[in-house]
Structures are given as C-alpha cells and as structure tokens.
C-alpha cells in the first residue's frame, strides 16, 4: 500500500499532463501529494522524513512552476530529490559506521551489516544515475518526451531496481530465518 501511495502522485501528474498541461498537472501533483501525506498519517500514524522532504520539494517547486509559469522548476525536482538521496546514501556508505538504509528500514528487515552497506552504495549510485539522466532529459528532450521519460523511464527503472534489490535482499532474509 505504501508503494502505491508513493507512486500515485506521479501517475496523477502524468494523466493530468496528458489531458491538460504541465501547470495544471503540477497543481494536481501538489494536491495529490498532500492527500497522500494525509492518508499515510491516517493509515500508519507516522510520516517518514523522506515523504515530508519529497512533499516540501513538490510543493515548493510545483508552486514555483505555477507562479512563474515556468516548467523548469518541476523538472528539476527529480534531480534535486535524487541528488539529496544519493549524497545521503553515499555519505553513509563512505563515512558512517551504520548504514543509512539500515536506519531507515531496520525495524522491518534484519540483514547482515555488509548487505546494508551494499544497499547504501547501490541506491546511492542509482539515485546519482537517475539525477544525471533527468538532467540529460531536461536539456535534450521535448517537454512531452521528458514527462514520458520521467514516468516510464525513471519510474520503470525505479520499480525494476526495487524489485532486483528485493530479490537480492530476500536471499539473505531466507538464510537468516533458517
């Protein structure tokens, strides 16, 4: 349910963009992101820092897109969020004694420390790649192509990377439980 809620604003943005334009889609993105935050609070009675940060950037950059009638603000949201995540995870991998991924997910999953460290590195590099790919898309794709790339390219890549990480992690969860 949480993953569905995380992707809901993106899909609404895409649908509204295809029907109307990027400015109405940005308004919808802000509204649906706020509803998702409310639903997460009602369902789980907790709001994680990642969701709050993401909403703040959506509201700020989406708002700037609407106010200044400039789609560049919303386009840069992806790179800013991915950049923050990449820096945090790579900093954790190289300079912290405990994995950031472990701190975020430790209550849900128990894994050997080396696996947590590998996840920090893998996700840090993944977010770095996605941020750079988004920059390429901003400068070299039309707005329509960028929206498709954002939703299906980066969105699909994120789902695939999540699935592959799940398969990787599952092998170690299974070993620990035997």
- 147 shares a domain with 114: yes
- 79 shares a domain with 45: no
The answer, yes or no, to whether residue 177 has pLDDT greater than 70, is no
- 165 shares a domain with 130: yes
Last residue within a domain, chosen from 52, 69, 86: 69
User: How far apart (Å, rounded) are the C-alpha atoms in residues 90 and 143?
Assistant: 31
Chain position carrying tokens 């405990």: 98
> What is the tens place of the pLDDT at every residue in 45-94?
888 888 999 999 999 999 999 999 999 999 999 999 999 999 999 999 99
- 114 shares a domain with 173: yes
Domain containing 63: what range? 1-69
- Predicted confidence at residue 72, as pLDDT, reads 97
- 163 shares a domain with 90: yes
User: How far apart (Å, rounded) are the C-alpha atoms in residues 72 and 78?
Assistant: 11
- 22 shares a domain with 40: yes
If phi over 0 gives left and psi between -120 and 50 gives alpha, with beta otherwise, what is residue 142? beta
- Predicted confidence at residue 109, as pLDDT, reads 78
- 74 shares a domain with 21: no
Q: What is the CA radius of gyration of the chain?
A: 17
- Predicted confidence at residue 175, as pLDDT, reads 57
Cβ contact 163:171 at 8 Å? no
- 76 shares a domain with 3: no
How does residue 2 score in pLDDT terms, banded at 50, 70 and 90? confident
- For the chain, how many structural domains are there in total? 2
Cβ contact 25:11 at 8 Å? no
- 85 shares a domain with 37: no
- 160 shares a domain with 94: yes
Give me the numbers of helices (H) and strands (E) for the chain, helices first please: 8, 0
- 19 shares a domain with 6: yes
Last residue within a domain, chosen from 50, 69, 88: 69
Last residue within a domain, chosen from 20, 52, 69: 69
What's the predicted TM-score (pTM) here?
A: 0.91
- Predicted confidence at residue 178, as pLDDT, reads 47
Q: What's the gap between Cα 18 and its chain centre?
A: 22
How does residue 22 score in pLDDT terms, banded at 50, 70 and 90? very high
Q: In this structure, what DSSP letter does residue 136 have?
A: H
- 20 shares a domain with 106: no
């Amino acid at each position: 349910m949480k993953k569905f809620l995380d992707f809901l604003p993106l899909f609404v943005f895409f649908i509204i963009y295809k029907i109307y334009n990027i400015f109405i889609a940005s308004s919808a993105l802000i509204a649906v992101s706020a509803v998702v935050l409310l639903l997460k609070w009602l369902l789980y009675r907790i709001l994680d820092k990642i969701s709050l940060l993401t909403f703040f950037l959506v509201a700020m950059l989406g708002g700037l897109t609407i106010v200044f009638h400039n789609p560049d603000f919303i386009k840069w949201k992806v790179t800013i969020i991915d950049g923050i995540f990449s820096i945090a995870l790579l900093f954790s991998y190289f300079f912290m004694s405990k994995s950031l991924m472990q701190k975020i997910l430790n209550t849900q999953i128990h894994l050997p420390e080396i696996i947590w460290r590998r996840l920090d590195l893998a996700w840090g590099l993944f977010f770095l790649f996605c941020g750079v790919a988004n920059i390429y898309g901003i400068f070299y794709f039309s707005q329509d192509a960028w929206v498709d790339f954002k939703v299906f390219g980066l969105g699909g890549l994120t789902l695939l990377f999540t699935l592959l990480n799940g398969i990787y992690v599952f092998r170690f969860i299974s070993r620990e439980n035997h």
